[in-house]
Amino acid sequence: MKKEPPPITRFKNIDDLVKGNGDITIGRVGPVQCAAVAADGDQQFAMLVRRPRETLDELLARLDAAIGKAWDEQEYIDEINP
């Protein structure tokens, strides 16, 4: 019997984060009506504000890229706190 390859995950960084010791949150953050936050037990990787007319899919794509940037370049994005 041929073994099937693992499925390709579009949001690989989000998938890796939530499979490990991390989580994402989508929704209201204080006065921000819709945000996407990615963090693990030690730090926040990204806090993104949903842009006008931005789809949820587009927001998740930006979050996935921001997680990768935090892991690869230690650059953390915070669009919520000045």
Distance CA 38, CA 49 (A): 12
| Domain membership flag for residue 53 | yes
CA-atom Rg of the chain in angstroms: 14
| Domain membership flag for residue 45 | yes
Q: Please report the pLDDT score of residue 7 as a whole number.
A: 67
| Domain membership flag for residue 2 | no
* Domain range for 26: 12-78
Q: Give 3-48 pLDDT, tens digit per residue.
A: 776 667 789 999 999 999 899 999 999 999 999 999 998 899 999 9
Token output for 27: 């929704």
| Domain membership flag for residue 39 | yes
Domain count, the chain: 1
Q: Please report the pLDDT score of residue 5 as a whole number.
A: 63
Distance CA 52, CA 4 (A): 41
